[in-house]
């Protein structure tokens, strides 16, 4: 009885397989022919997530497949990068790289390097600055004066980020600052509004609502030119601080992906960022209007940004 | 003596693990700048508390009278009130089923990226129901094929999740299913 | 006040528009479904629902997500009570009194109490949202890292302090959970901890695989060992929901009041709002409830407290989101994302610029709570039917949902390995009578506690006295001390009375 049962058991699976296999092995010559996973190494609702969702939405009609967003937050984007780089180089996984994560190459030496991926383009660039709550500190000079007397607390997103590099740079210039990491954006904003920290480092767009409602005010932008939205706010360059680390976000595909697929994806991104919807999104985010850079230009910017960050990190470490 | 040794076993295991991890926590290869607490502060505090708690429990078991020792081992917990009666006594025990279930689940996870979600799930659902002493073949087959199909349809088509499609030649099955479901 | 009522009335009229009502209904159903299914958490459900709102206008999208959020705090209670598998982390405390009550043949009562508690908590939180939104938002701003840490610490004691017999075991289990959550790249410095160079551990071990493994798979394994022949929970009795009478509920008025306050306040603590609210309010019942000695044996207080607090925490999250633009939890972060995708920035100005939107959302919470009550009442019938299907088939699908749910969080097979590992661990805990709940709690709150502690130490230059000098954190610390000392004192007193009786 027993062997017969085992036979029936096996034959049942065999039948199932027979039902399933006759479908012809579908030709896979067309790319893309199935959904492309879009990895976001940050939680839903954040800046990178918003950019990716906006872009993913606009990429779908270009690529004629769905582009599901996969949030993998953790460790300043390291968790998501690991996931991205362990997936196959078949063009079915793309990833958004924020400069918070990219800065880790200059500070923390993560397990990945620039050689592991091909950038498809920078899709957004945002100038960053220091913000204060309500009517504290009349201007940057007032901040400087206060910071020479007692340490001011700066809310940053995490250690090893451009936030910390910038703060350390200012410390090396004689300001007394204490960088306090708050990984969740919500905490970062509420501690500033509640007066538990003095300054907040943030890209302009993320906190637009607080600025619009006069709860927060920019006090300095770390950029070369003044922002058209905030003509009265001085830049680091005018104030004599040689540091401008804007927030940029690039889309990546794994190194070793078929060049034809890379070209197709780059072209789709170029078309997506040229749509009026995306332009409106950039405006809403207080981003640089012509944020988009194609692959070649992105590689150049990435190289110079990394050198720049490494230089600053070295210079501040000496002091 | 034997019940006492059995009562001690979990604590000794945890204690040994805690000691190994404490040793590891000394070698994270990173020191926080200045007087900031480093990445090792938190785990080391937990490990220290854990070692103290284990030693305290071991002490309680050793110093208590024999009946106390047995009680400490099966000390129960919040869940004890809930579990309680039906265990072992009324129904039979099938340790082999347990081993088969664990083995099957391990196989399912191990083969998931090779066979793809659909094929792997059909096999897993069907076999696990069979292991669970349910014997009506038509029902098992229908539930396995139908269940995997519906799960795949709901999660890939409706909620946009990308489940593993497997490697060739098995990926052909997943891709065929995706074509049937119009997943693009 | 009249202004508010007027705006709210306009909001109600707006909610009843077909599109909004449809969004509300869909949100309630999907939220309940996600909460009921083990493995799929509410936050994940909201994330997965977000792409569907791309094409909608802003009002129905926010109503949809908020409705999911509200009904998601209730659905998981049903599985906790009937199947002994928590649908959401916040439903773990319902395993004790909820399952115990069902287990002694009173499942209808247990289900009725949770339903009543969820609806009451929902109404209280909605009322607070409407009337006290702005002053309440100010409370959110007084919280800094020390307060977060002190409140989380008190959350830990809720489990530890409950059973005096197993204090040591519960404590070890809690520490194990905290240690598990410390594996992986650390959140402050990005340093790999206990990863041994493996990619699998690099991303850390989330609470979801631990909870789903230990409760979902562990429970199925334990039943499999008995050959899927577990005695029917319900006997032959027909189960429906028995809503408690108002007189019965009035007896528990203190519990309702305490728990809704705790729920709304804990909602502010970022990271683990509803979960921490649920555990803390259960812990508070353990100290202040009149029948605290019988807590855990299946008394309504132990069901009402966590459920009221879970649902009431929705307001604690939504108020800072709407009035300040600050998201306190995973779910509200997604709702904020939905706002921003539609080009609307929540914040104080939204009451001026989009008053109709805000009051429509408020009104939708009221309508949603009623809808949740009706849905819960009728959804229980089909759910009960599941209990009559062959156990093998039900169990297989429980495991499948656990696996898919955990997979969908990160699209990562290593989370599935964790489920298998913790399924076995959960089974062993059960066999050795080691409590599982503290481990799960440690996993959920461990990272929140570590983050808050590290931030405090960095912010205040290693000055640990801040925990005792700031009023809110000092109060939470005092409660923690009481919670820890109370069982010890009780034990001592009992021993003394035994000694007195002997002499």
Instruction: Report the pLDDT value the prediction gives residue B68, as an integer from 0 to 100.
Output: 43
Q: Which of A83, A159, A284 is the closest to C343 by Cβ?
A: A284
The domains found in chain A, sorted by start residue, are: 37-125+246-318 (3.40.190.150), 128-221 (3.40.190.10)
Could you tell me which chain B residue has the CA closest to the CA of A60? B184
Residues of A in contact with C271 (CB under 8 A): 184
C198 touches chain B (CB under 8 A): no
State how far the Cα of C12 lies from the Cα of C4, in Å rounded to an integer.
12
Q: DSSP letters along C13-60, please? A: HHHTSHHHHHHHHHHHHHHHHHHHSTT--HHHHHHHHGGGGTTS-HHH
Number of domains in chain B: 2
Do B20 and B69 belong together in one domain?
yes
Rounded Cα gap, residues C424 and C402, in angstroms: 14
Q: What is the pLDDT of residue C129?
A: 85
| Cβ–Cβ gap B130/A9 under 8 Å | yes
Check pLDDT > 80 for residue C159: no
pLDDT digits (tens, 9 = 90+) for A102-140: 888 887 777 788 888 888 888 888 888 999 998 888 888
Chains that touch B (3 or more CB pairs under 8 A): A, C
What residues does each domain of chain C span? 2-502
Neighbours of chain A (3+ CB pairs under 8 A): B, C
| Range in A44-48, C111-115, C118-122 with the lowest mean pLDDT | A44-48
Which phi and psi angles does A108 have, rounded to 5°?
-105, -10
Q: Which of residues 223-282 of A touch C (CB under 8 A)?
A: 280
Both tokens assigned to A265: 């994806």
Give the residue numbers in A contacting B (CB under 8 Å), as ranges.
8-9, 12-13, 16, 19-21, 23-26, 28, 33-35, 37, 64-66, 68, 70
Helix, strand or coil for residue A49? Answer: helix
Give the pLDDT confidence score for residue A9 in this predicted structure: 57
Query: Are residues A74 and C203, on separate chains, in Cβ contact within 8 Å?
Result: yes
User: Percent of chain A at pLDDT above 90?
Assistant: 6
- Whether the pLDDT of residue A18 is over 70: the answer is no
| Interstrand relation of A152-156 and A93-98 (parallel, antiparallel or unpaired) | unpaired
Q: Is residue B90 part of a domain?
A: no
Interface test with C, best of B78, B86, B88, B143 (most C CBs within 10 A): B78
Summarize the confidence of residues C12-17 as an average pLDDT.
90
Identify whether residues B112 and B163 lie together within a single domain: yes
pLDDT of residue A26: 46
How far is Cα A50 from Cα A43, in angstroms, rounded to an integer? 10
**Rounded Cα gap, residues A74 and A184, in angstroms:** 11
Q: Are residues B120 and B46 in the same domain?
A: no
The predicted model gives C203-226 an average pLDDT of: 86
Higher pLDDT among residues A200 and C433, named by residue? A200
| B94 contacts C226? CB cut-off 8 A | yes
Q: Residue B171: which domain range? A: 95-180
Compute the distance between CA of residue C385 and CA of residue C343 in angstroms, rounded to an integer: 45
End-to-end CA distance of chain A: 83
Residue B168 has pLDDT above 90, yes or no: no
* pLDDT per residue as tens digits for the range B83-120: 333 344 445 678 888 899 999 999 999 999 889 899 99
Nearest CA in chain C to B32: C189
Same domain, B126 and B165: yes
Size of interface A-C (CB pairs under 8 A): 152
What are the tens digits of pLDDT across the range A153-171? 999 988 878 888 889 888 8
Residues of A in contact with C328 (CB under 8 A): 186
Interface residue of C52, C55, C141, C342 to substitute, partner A, most A CBs within 10 Å = C141
Long-range contact pairs involving A236-244 (C-beta distance under 8 Å, separation at least 24): A239/A140, A241/A169, A241/A170, A241/A173, A243/A165, A243/A166, A243/A169, A243/A170, A243/A312, A244/A127
Q: What are phi and psi of A119, to 5 degrees?
A: -75, 135
- Chain B hits for A91, Cβ within 8 Å: none
Question: Cα C102–C26–A61 angle (5° rounding)?
Answer: 135
Predicted confidence band of residue C353 (pLDDT cuts 50, 70, 90): confident
The pLDDT tens digits of the residues spanning B23-34 come to 888 777 777 777
Chain C residues with CB inside 8 Å of A111's CB? 202
Q: Is the pLDDT of residue A17 over 50?
A: yes
Residue B89 belongs to some domain of the structure? no
Asked if the Cβ–Cβ distance from C349 to A213 is below 8 Å, we say yes
Chain C positions in Cβ-Cβ contact with residue A190 (cut-off 8 Å) = 140-141, 143, 320, 324, 326
| CB of A200 less than 8 A from some CB of C | no
B124 and B68, same structural domain?
A: no
Q: Write down the mean pLDDT value for chain C.
A: 84
CB of B123 within 8 Å of a chain A CB? The answer is yes
């Amino acid at each position: 009885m027993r062997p017969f049962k085992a036979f029936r058991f096996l034959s049942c699976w065999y039948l199932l397989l027979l039902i399933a296999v006759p479908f012809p092995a579908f030709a896979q010559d067309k790319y893309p022919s199935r959904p492309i996973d879009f990895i976001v190494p940050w939680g839903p609702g954040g800046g990178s997530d918003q950019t990716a969702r906006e872009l993913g939405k606009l990429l779908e009609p270009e690529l004629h497949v769905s582009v599901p967003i996969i949030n993998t937050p953790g460790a300043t984007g390291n968790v998501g990068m690991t996931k991205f780089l362990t997936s196959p180089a078949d063009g079915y996984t793309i990833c958004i790289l924020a400069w918070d994560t990219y800065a880790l190459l200059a500070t923390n030496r993560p397990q990945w390097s620039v050689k592991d991926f091909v950038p498809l383009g920078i899709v957004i660039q945002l100038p960053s600055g220091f913000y204060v709550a309500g009517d504290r500190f009349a201007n940057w000079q007032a901040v400087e004066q206060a910071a020479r007397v007692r340490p001011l607390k700066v809310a940053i997103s995490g250690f090893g980020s451009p936030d910390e590099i910038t703060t350390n740079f200012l410390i090396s210039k004689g300001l007394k600052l204490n960088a306090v990491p708050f990984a969740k954006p919500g905490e970062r904003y509420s501690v500033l509004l509640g007066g538990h920290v003095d300054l907040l480092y943030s890209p302009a767009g993320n906190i637009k609502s607080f600025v619009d409602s006069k709860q927060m005010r920019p006090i300095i932008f770390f950029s070369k030119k003044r922002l058209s939205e905030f003509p009265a706010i001085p830049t680091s360059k005018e104030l004599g601080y040689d540091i401008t680390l804007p927030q940029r976000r690039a889309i990546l595909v794994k190194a070793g992906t078929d060049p034809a697929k890379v070209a197709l994806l780059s072209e789709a991104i170029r078309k997506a960022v040229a749509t009026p919807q995306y332009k409106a999104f950039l405006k809403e985010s207080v981003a640089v209007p012509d944020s988009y850079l194609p692959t070649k230009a992105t590689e150049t910017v990435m190289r110079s940004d990394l050198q720049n960050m490494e230089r600053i990190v070295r210079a501040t470490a000496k002091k | 003596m034997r019940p006492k040794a059995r009562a001690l076993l979990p604590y000794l295991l945890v204690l040994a693990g805690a000691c190994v991890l404490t040793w590891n926590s000394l070698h994270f290869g990173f020191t926080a700048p200045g007087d900031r607490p480093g990445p090792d502060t938190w785990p080391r505090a937990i490990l220290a508390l854990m070692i103290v708690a284990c030693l305290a429990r071991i002490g309680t078991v050793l110093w208590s009278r024999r009946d106390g020792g047995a009680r400490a081992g099966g000390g129960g917990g919040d869940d004890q009130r809930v579990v309680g009666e039906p265990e072992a006594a009324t129904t039979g025990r099938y340790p082999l089923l347990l081993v088969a279930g664990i083995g099957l689940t391990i196989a399912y996870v191990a083969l998931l990226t090779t066979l793809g979600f659909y094929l792997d799930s059909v096999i897993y659902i069907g076999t696990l129901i069979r292991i669970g002493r349910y014997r009506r073949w038509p029902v098992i087959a229908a539930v396995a094929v139908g269940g995997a199909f519906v799960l795949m349809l709901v999660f890939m088509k409706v909620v946009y999740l990308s489940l593993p499609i497997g490697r060739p030649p098995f990926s052909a099955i997943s891709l065929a299913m995706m074509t049937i479901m119009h997943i693009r | 006040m009249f202004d508010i009522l007027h705006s709210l009335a306009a909001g109600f009229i707006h909610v009843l528009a077909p599109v909004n009502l449809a969004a509300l209904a869909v949100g309630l159903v999907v939220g309940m479904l996600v909460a009921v299914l083990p493995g799929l958490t509410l936050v994940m459900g909201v994330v997965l629902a977000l792409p569907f709102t791309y094409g909608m206008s802003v009002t129905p999208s926010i109503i949809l997500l908020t409705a999911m959020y509200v009904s998601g705090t209730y659905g998981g209670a049903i599985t906790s009570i009937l199947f002994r598998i928590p649908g959401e982390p916040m439903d773990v405390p319902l395993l004790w009194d909820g399952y115990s009550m069902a287990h002694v043949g009173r499942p209808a009562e247990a289900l009725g109490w949770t339903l009543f508690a969820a609806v009451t908590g929902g109404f209280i939180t909605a009322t607070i949202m409407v009337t006290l939104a702005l002053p309440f938002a100010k409370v959110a701003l007084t919280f800094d890292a020390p307060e977060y840490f002190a409140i989380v610490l008190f959350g830990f004691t809720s489990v530890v302090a409950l059973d005096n017999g197993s204090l040591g075991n519960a404590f070890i289990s809690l520490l194990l959970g905290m240690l598990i959550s410390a594996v992986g790249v650390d959140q402050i410095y990005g340093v790999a901890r206990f990863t041994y160079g493996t990619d699998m551990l690099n991303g850390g071990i989330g609470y979801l695989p631990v909870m789903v493994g230990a409760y979902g798979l562990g429970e199925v394994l334990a039943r499999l060992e008995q050959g899927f022949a577990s005695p029917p929970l319900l006997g032959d009795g027909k189960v429906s929901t028995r809503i408690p009478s108002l007189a019965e509920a009035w007896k528990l008025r203190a519990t309702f009041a305490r728990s809704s306050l705790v729920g709304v306040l804990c909602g502010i603590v970022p990271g683990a709002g509803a979960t921490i609210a649920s555990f803390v309010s259960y812990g508070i019942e353990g100290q202040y409830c009149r029948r605290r000695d019988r807590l855990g044996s299946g008394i309504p207080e132990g069901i009402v407290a966590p459920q009221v607090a879970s649902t009431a925490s929705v307001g604690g999250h939504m108020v800072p989101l709407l009035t300040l633009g600050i998201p306190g939890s995973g779910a509200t972060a997604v709702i904020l994302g939905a706002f921003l995708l539609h080009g609307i920035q929540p914040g104080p100005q939204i009451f001026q610029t989009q008053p109709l939107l805000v009051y429509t959302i408020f009104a939708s919470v009221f309508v949603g709570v009623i809808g949740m009550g009706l849905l819960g009442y009728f959804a229980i019938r089909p759910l009960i039917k599941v209990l009559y299907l062959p156990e093998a088939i039900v169990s297989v699908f429980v495991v499948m949902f656990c696996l898919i749910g955990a997979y969908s969080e990160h699209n990562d097979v290593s989370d599935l390995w964790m489920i298998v590992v913790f399924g076995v661990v959960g089974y062993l805990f059960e066999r050795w009578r080691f409590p599982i709940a503290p481990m799960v709690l440690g996993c959920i709150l461990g990272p929140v506690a570590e983050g808050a502690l590290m931030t405090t130490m960095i912010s205040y230059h290693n000055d640990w006295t801040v925990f005792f000098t700031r009023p809110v954190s000092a109060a939470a610390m005092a409660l923690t001390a009481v919670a820890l000392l109370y069982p010890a004192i009780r034990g001592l007193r009992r021993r003394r009375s035994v000694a007195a009786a002997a002499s």
